[in-house]
């Protein structure tokens, strides 16, 4: 019996370290700006840039907050430091006032290799500082131009709306609802521009199949309160 226990201890001591070996991680924080203003709700994704056409996502995507700040982290099984990069999908276009919906512009930033952590939980943090999305947009890289899930709908005379849509995709969708409206902070003329509000749809309400079986009851959306800052769009349209 004593020998069996001794063998058990040996096996545990040998294999437990291997369970946690070979995991690399990255963590980054910073702020996104567009022409001096916060770039709100831009999508960010960490990637392993080991090959030009073989980039691997690391962790889940995140979005910048209303002030443009972001915090992102992820890990993957790998025995050597991750050649990391940060992808940012944003709407800071070089041609101001031109509507590109639903396209996003893609910016890629290289993360210094010394910020790859040899652990599942990152100990070192890449301080990205301020990333000015306007820099480099002259080489605009439009992406995600085919992600509209439904035709435009309009709220009725009482403000109610009902919208649904689907697309063919193997992985779970990251869905947002965009509302263009005329609810501004004051009555100054905006030259035909609309204000737009973007809301994240919880993944719980992403259904498998072309017909949704669960519905998101959004309740009353007070556009005046939901709208943290004014976003002018579709000007002159």
pLDDT per residue over 8-52, tens digit each?
444 444 444 444 457 889 999 999 998 889 998 899 999 998 755
Q: What does the block give as tokens for 170?
A: 């193997």
64-90 per-position pLDDT tens digit: 999 999 999 999 887 888 889 999 988
> Does 201 or 158 have the greater pLDDT score?
158
pLDDT score recorded for residue 92: 83
* pLDDT higher than 70, residue 235: no
As a whole number, mean pLDDT of residues 159-179 equals 76
> Does 4 or 193 have the greater pLDDT score?
193
> Does 69 or 168 have the greater pLDDT score?
69
pLDDT score recorded for residue 172: 63
Give whichever of 123-132, 163-172, 223-232 has the largest mean pLDDT: 123-132
223-234 per-position pLDDT tens digit: 877 766 666 666
Measured CA to CA in angstroms, residue 126 lies from 39, 72, 119, 227 at distances of: 20, 10, 15, 31
pLDDT score recorded for residue 142: 64
pLDDT score recorded for residue 228: 65
Q: What's CA 233's distance to the chain center, in Å?
A: 21
The residues spanned by each domain of the chain are 2-143, 148-237
Residue-by-residue DSSP string for 88-152: EEE---SSTT---TT-EEEEEEEPPGGG-BSSSS-SS-EEEEEEETTTTGGG--EE-TT---S--
CATH number of 2-143: 2.60.40.3330
Burial of 208 by CB count in 10 Å (0-12 exposed, 13-18 middle, 19+ buried)?
exposed
* Greatest C-alpha distance within the chain: 87
Q: Is 91 left (phi over 0), alpha (psi -120 to 50) or beta?
A: alpha
pLDDT score recorded for residue 169: 58
């Amino acid at each position: 019996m004593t020998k069996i226990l001794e063998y058990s201890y040996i096996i545990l001591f040998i294999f437990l370290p291997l369970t946690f070996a070979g995991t690399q991680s990255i963590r980054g924080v910073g702020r996104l700006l567009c022409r001096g203003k916060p770039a709100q709700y831009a999508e960010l994704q960490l990637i392993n840039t080991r090959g030009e056409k073989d980039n691997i996502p690391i962790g889940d995507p995140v979005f910048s907050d209303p002030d443009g700040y972001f915090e992102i982290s992820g890990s993957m099984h790998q025995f050597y430091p991750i050649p990391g990069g940060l992808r940012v999908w944003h709407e800071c276009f070089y041609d101001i006032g031109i509507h590109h919906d639903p396209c996003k512009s893609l910016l890629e930033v290289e993360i210094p290799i010394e910020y790859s952590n040899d652990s599942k939980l990152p100990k070192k943090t890449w301080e990205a500082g301020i990333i000015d999305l306007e820099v480099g947009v002259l080489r605009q890289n439009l992406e995600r131009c085919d992600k509209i899930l439904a035709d435009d709908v309009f709220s009725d005379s009482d403000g109610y709306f009902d919208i649904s849509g689907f697309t063919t995709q193997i992985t779970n969708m990251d869905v947002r609802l965009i509302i263009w409206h005329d609810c501004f902070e004051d009555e100054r003329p905006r030259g035909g521009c609309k204000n737009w509000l973007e809301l994240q749809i919880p993944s719980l309400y992403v259904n498998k199949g072309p017909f949704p079986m669960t519905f998101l009851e959004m309740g009353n959306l007070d556009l005046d309160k939901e709208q943290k800052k004014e976003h002018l769009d579709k000007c002159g349209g």
